[in-house]
Amino acid sequence: MAEVPRRGPSAAFSARLLEATRVHWPQARPQTSLHAELAVTAGVVAGAAALTLTPVLVVAALFVFDTGAVVEGVARGFVWLVGWLTAGASLWEVLGRAGRIAATAMASPAGTMVLLGGILTAWLALAGLSRVMPMERGDL
């Protein structure tokens, strides 16, 4: 095979092949899709953080503050949210503002420590429950 001369495709064939497949080439994504992906990712992370940290913060507030003040604050927060939504503010505006507040809080050193504390608390709860809960047959 070393003595067989090597032949490549003709230039016309290469040009026709490239032109035929050009229609199926992936197009460059516009820059807005990158921003949209980042916004969705930030929304999912903020939602997960809110769902994880809200109960932890409420329980922590129950230990630190007066129980009546915490319950009253949570109730006032829900009333404020419902009043804002019924006044004509869009849900996206409310979620956007909450996302900006959550991002600002998580970007601060104190917010990072609270987030790490919530993760550590969840990890310790999972480890503790796995030791306390009996293993059932069939579980791996």
Please provide the distance, in angstroms rounded to a whole number, between the alpha carbons at the two ends of the chain.
Answer: 57
Residue 85 or residue 76, greater confidence = 76
* Cβ-based neighbours of 39, under 8 Å, separated by 6 or more: none
User: Is residue 96's pLDDT more than 70?
Assistant: yes
**Residues constituting the chain:** 140
The helix/strand/coil state of 30 is: coil
pLDDT of amino acid 45:
85
pLDDT of amino acid 131:
79
**Measured between alpha carbons, how far is 106 from 64 in angstroms, rounded to an integer?**
21
**Measured between alpha carbons, how far is 66 from 86 in angstroms, rounded to an integer?**
30
**Measured between alpha carbons, how far is 46 from 57 in angstroms, rounded to an integer?**
15
Q: How confident is the model at residue 104 (pLDDT cuts 50, 70, 90)?
A: confident
